[in-house]
Amino acid sequence: MEIVGIAGSLRPAAHVGRLLEAAAGELPASATLTVWTGLEEIPACTGGPLPRPAAELCALLAGADGVLVTAPEHSVLPVQLLHALGWASSPAAGAVLLGKPVAVVTACVRPHEAMWTQTELRRMLGVAGAAVHGADLPVSPAPRRFDDTGRLADPAARDRLRRVVEELCGRSPETVLAPLPPAAAGKAVDPVAGKVLDGVAGKAPAVPGTTRVTAAPGRAAAVPALGPAAASGKVPAGIPV
């Protein structure tokens, strides 16, 4: 099972980046986490053809079975993350998130900040037709939030992260996507109104690396779910150990 991970931060040592790395250690043996690190290059979503960074992201999403997003407080949420989701839900993306399970994990000190972040990201992912569920893992004031293996030091937080990951891996696109009406073949559907959206092809853009991504500077790296010790050496530079 292929899971694409997106850390909602531009800071190399951000807590949400390490949280995404910790999630790799909670994946079942049958799953692989591919971390996308091109957030900083995403331009504003203006419609029209996909720019190269957005096309690379959409190619990853098209080949994935699910998506895991880790995000910070709403007050420091990078606008680039909203741009990325905007491109993924645009007609040019080809409905790459339609019916796909997505988990949004927030890491906030203040509960209301988590609520605002969850609301914002769920709204944008819902427009793209994704099946979204989320959880908040409150940021502990303790200086040691991660143990020596890269996992969460708090057992309760680790257990909650594990349950989020297990639920994500247990919800394949086939199980969350209801049958489409005959007129919707090859097209996207409005997730709210249930209407077919004309002119939206139901497949990913022809971009190299659609089904598999290999490590490349500033792009993405596949992180096999072999536990944190094995995974730590395969996380891209944007997700520090």
pLDDT digits (tens, 9 = 90+) for 171-180: 756 444 444 4
Architecture of domain 2-232: 3-Layer(aba) Sandwich (3.40)
- Model confidence at 241, pLDDT cuts 50, 70, 90, reads very low
Give the per-residue pLDDT at 79: 95
Give the per-residue pLDDT at 140: 63
- Model confidence at 135, pLDDT cuts 50, 70, 90, reads confident
Give the per-residue pLDDT at 202: 35
List the beta strands (DSSP E) in the chain.
2-7, 32-36, 66-71, 101-106, 131-136, 188-189, 196-197, 220-224
Residues with Cβ < 8 Å from 115, sequence gap 6 or more? none
Nearest CA-CA partner of 62 in 211, 197, 217: 211
- Model confidence at 213, pLDDT cuts 50, 70, 90, reads very low
Single-letter code of the amino acid located at 106: T
78-90 pLDDT, tens digit per residue, is 999 999 999 999 9
C-alpha 10/C-alpha 156 separation (Å) is 27
| More confident call, 55 vs 185 | 55
∠ CA 64-162-129 to the nearest 5 degrees? Answer: 35
**Domain residue extents for the chain:** 2-232
Average pLDDT, the chain: 75
Residues with Cβ < 8 Å from 181, sequence gap 6 or more? 196
155-168 pLDDT, tens digit per residue, is 888 999 999 999 99
Give the per-residue pLDDT at 214: 30
- Model confidence at 141, pLDDT cuts 50, 70, 90, reads low
Give the per-residue pLDDT at 102: 95
pTM to 2 decimals?
0.71
Q: What is the mean pLDDT of residues 60-77?
A: 92
Residue 104 vs residues 5, 137, 204, 207, 226: alpha-carbon distances, Å: 10, 11, 22, 26, 23
Structure tokens of 230? 């094995």
Residues 12-34, buried b or exposed e (16+ Cβ, 10 A)? eebbbbbbbbbbbbbbeeebbbb
Q: What is the mean pLDDT of residues 104-127?
A: 88
Nearest CA-CA partner of 129 in 178, 82, 170, 95: 95
**Residue 41 pLDDT greater than 90, yes or no:** yes
**Residue 220 pLDDT greater than 70, yes or no:** no
Q: Are 57 and 42 in contact (CB under 8 A)?
A: yes
Structure tokens of 20? 């995404």
